[in-house]
Amino acid sequence: MKIILGILTAWVVIYPIIFFLAWIVMVFSFASQANQNTSEPNGLALLVFPVFFIIICSAFLQIGLEIFYIVHIILNKVGGDFLRALLGVGLVFFPFIAMPVYYFIYILPEIPPKWAQISTSG
C-alpha cells in the first residue's frame, strides 16, 4: 500500500512538468498547422480530450491525496508538532513539495527518524 501511495504522490509531482511540456508541444503544433492551408485535423488536436481527461483525473487525485495527508497529519501522534504543522501548511500552498517530504519522513519508514519525532525531553 505504501508503494502505491508513493507512486500516486510521485504522479502529483511529475504531472505538472509533463503537462507543461505537452502544452508547449501542442501550442507549437497548432501554430505550425495554422500556417498550412490543410483541412485535415492535426494528430495532436485529437489528443485534446484525452489530455483533458487526464487533467481532471489528476486534479481529483491531488485533492484525494491532500485529504489523506491532512488526515494522516492530524492523526499522527509520533511526529513532532512543529514539523507536522509546517507540512500541513505546506500541503495547502505547495502540495507538490510537502506531499513527497511527508511521505518520505512519516509514511515510508516503519519508524520516523528521531529528529522528526516528538521531543520527550523537558
Specify if 63 maps to a domain: yes
* pLDDT of the residue at 117: 87
Q: Is the pTM of this model over 0.85?
A: no
Specify if 100 maps to a domain: yes
Domain limits for position 57: 2-34+45-112
Number of Cβ atoms within 10 Å of the Cβ of 89: 11
Specify if 117 maps to a domain: no
Q: How many domains are there within the chain?
A: 1
Residues 42-99: pLDDT tens digits? 666 677 788 889 889 999 999 999 999 999 999 998 888 899 999 999 999 999 999 9
* pLDDT of the residue at 43: 65
Specify if 119 maps to a domain: no
Specify if 85 maps to a domain: yes
Please report, for residues 6, 8, 35, 75, 120, the alpha-carbon distance to residue 72 in angstroms, rounded to integers and kept in the order given. Answer: 14, 16, 53, 5, 21
Specify if 67 maps to a domain: yes
Q: For residues 118 and 80, is the Cβ–Cβ distance under 8 A?
A: yes
